[in-house]
Amino acid sequence: MDRASDGDWCQIQGAEQLPAELNGADAVCSILEAHLGKFSPRVVAVSVRSPFLVKADVTAADGSRLRTVTVGSSDRPLGARSLRMLATAIAAELAAGQQQQGRE
């Protein structure tokens, strides 16, 4: 996925609530980009609800909206592992959407 020229694909709301070790919104987008592999969503809108909970609303390349993906922890703040889990869940939703389109 080459989104270097399109900075609008990854949108972060509430980045001030991210734990300091995640290095802010740009780092979140970088982790997502690195782990989404072949998928190129139109928009990934990440909402940081607290240092322990993050949600992502995804719009696929074809414009369809996918289910909201939520990752959180009750016993530790978000970390790089949490963001990788978020990216994996987003990729799974994108793959399921592509499979469903193939059946239509």
Question: What is the per-residue pLDDT across 37-54, written as a single tens digit (0 to 9) for each?
Answer: 888 899 999 999 999 999
Q: Which of 37, 76, 84, 16 is nearest to 56 (CA)?
A: 84
Adjacent-strand bridge partners of 58: 44
Asked if 78 contacts 22 with a C-beta cutoff of 8 angstroms, the reply is yes
Q: What is the pTM of this model?
A: 0.85
Summarize pLDDT for 51-95 with one digit per residue, the tens: 999 999 999 999 999 999 999 988 999 999 999 999 999 999 999
Q: Which of 62, 64, 41 is nearest to 32 (CA)?
A: 41
Residue 43 and residue 59 in contact, taking contact as beta carbons nearer than 8 Å: yes
DSSP H or E run through 47:
strand 43-50
